[in-house]
Structure 1
Amino acid sequence: MNETVPPSDLPAPFWRRLLALAYELLAVLAILFVTDMACLLLTRGQLDPHAWWYRAVLLLALAAYFLLSWTRGGQSLGMRPWRLYLRTDAGAIPTWPHAALRFAILIAPLTLLAIAPWAGAKAAMAVPFAVWALSLLTALIDRRRRALHDILAGTWIVYRPIPKA
């Protein structure tokens, strides 16, 4: 399952990554919506959105989506239309440890939401988005166009152009 990257693969252009991210947000919203509806059904409409188990279920749903996508072909739904693939630095499809590390790094800024009671909800929401934006901006200066979370996880996003006939 750990096939290597063909020599025709290129570092993913930044604009393709941004468009894939926009597509990915739609998939994530759908996953969260379905998971939320299941939780509401299980609690007969008495769901406490601050319950620890509810947040854990949402996190597990997202983890399952990304980890399965990245370890089975190296593509999530948002990456497919843009011909983007996640690979390890060695060029292989990510293993579970690589994918789990990348996911953990990507969601780490969400822990900053814990400052909401002190900083206010708007400020607390702005911090994770600022961290993610800075992480993505490193792709503009890295030789292989890797975002900070890719550098830390030992992965990179490649673009596989359509082969010319």
Structure 2
Amino acid sequence: MPHTLIFPDSTLTATVPSRLRRFASMMYEGVLLFAVVFLAGYLLDTLTQSRSGLTLRGLRQGVLFLAIGVYFIMCWRYGGQTLPMKTWNMRLVDRDGRTPRLSRLVARYVMLWPVPLLVALVIQALSHVTGYRFLDMLIIFAPFSIFIWTWIDPEAQFLHDRLLGTRLIHTDAKPRKNARKAKTV
């Protein structure tokens, strides 16, 4: 059942994208992030003459964190959408239905990380305590842990969106039936 959002300072209403739509967008995002991570890693390796992904590991993690952050923040800042969000008709807005301020976008990106990282640590601890090393493979589910809050939230928003006052909304890209009839007459 779709949730409807009503923005207080306008007559604008929007629906929240379904979890399946957000999941599909997230999977598509992963494909695009492969290119972002590859290019940032290649640039780092070229500049530092690194021959292994294990050398300069802390620097590499920092550079990749920043590169992914720049990608998301730039996309959200200019249009409120990444390419997968456009494909799946979603947009990021603030409480008033406008593109969020830059400071809020930076905070949103940073606040995306704690829940998946906490789940990853729990998985690692579980693997270590039990001695079952195959449990480490469950790490692939850590990014999807952000969906847990959507089952609790009354508007099915992510926790970081709830805390920051940002929202993902469904953008209707299809023309309205009345508009189509008006053109054909």
Letter in 2 for 1:83: N
1:92 aligns with 2:84: no
Residues 1:72 and 1:5: Cα distance change in structure 2 (over 3 Å): farther
1:44 aligns with 2:49: yes
Q: Which moved more, 1:101-110 or 1:115-124?
A: 115-124
Structure label with greater radius of gyration: 2
Give the deviation of 1:163 after TM superposition: 3.0
In the alignment, the residues of structure 2 paired with residue 17 and residue 140 of structure 1 have an alpha-carbon distance, to the nearest angstrom, of: 13
Secondary structure at the residue paired with 1:9? strand
Residues 1:13 and 1:118: Cα distance change in structure 2 (over 3 Å): closer
In the alignment, the residues of structure 1 paired with residue 33 and residue 10 of structure 2 have an alpha-carbon distance, to the nearest angstrom, of: 27
1:28 aligns with 2:33: yes
1:10 aligns with 2:15: yes
Secondary structure at the residue paired with 2:169? strand
Residues 1:126 and 1:76: Cα distance change in structure 2 (over 3 Å): same
Aligned residues: 161
Percent of matched pairs sharing the same residue: 25
Residue 59 of structure 2 is aligned with which of 53, 57, 72?
A: 53
**Higher-RCO chain (CA-CA 8 Å, sequence separation at least 6):** 1
Q: In the TM superposition, what whole-angstrom CA distance separates every residue of 1:19-42 from its partner, at most 9, and x where no partner exists?
A: 111111111111101111112222
Q: In the TM superposition, what whole-angstrom CA distance separates every residue of 1:72-119 from its partner, at most 9, and x where no partner exists?
A: 111012211011001112222111111111111112243776785996
In the alignment, the residues of structure 2 paired with residue 12 and residue 5 of structure 1 have an alpha-carbon distance, to the nearest angstrom, of: 20
Residue 168 of structure 2 is aligned with which of 154, 157, 162?
A: 157
Q: Which moved more, 1:98-107 or 1:108-117?
A: 108-117
- Is the CA contact 1:87–1:157 (under 8 Å) kept in the aligned structure 2? yes
TM-score by length of 2: 0.72
Give the deviation of 1:46 after TM superposition: 2.8
C-alpha RMSD of matched pairs (Å): 2.9
In the alignment, the residues of structure 2 paired with residue 112 and residue 85 of structure 1 have an alpha-carbon distance, to the nearest angstrom, of: 27
In the alignment, the residues of structure 2 paired with residue 29 and residue 122 of structure 1 have an alpha-carbon distance, to the nearest angstrom, of: 25
1:63 aligns with 2:69: yes
In the alignment, the residues of structure 2 paired with residue 146 and residue 44 of structure 1 have an alpha-carbon distance, to the nearest angstrom, of: 43
Q: In the TM superposition, what whole-angstrom CA distance separates every residue of 1:125-161 from its partner, at most 9, and x where no partner exists?
A: 746844x434313223433220112112221100011
Letter in 2 for 1:155: T
* Counterpart in the other structure of 2:117: 110
User: Structure 2: where are the runs of 5+ without partners?
Assistant: 1-8, 180-185
TM-score by length of 1: 0.80
Q: Which moved more, 1:55-64 or 1:139-148?
A: 139-148
In the alignment, the residues of structure 1 paired with residue 148 and residue 10 of structure 2 have an alpha-carbon distance, to the nearest angstrom, of: 24
Give the deviation of 1:43 after TM superposition: 2.6
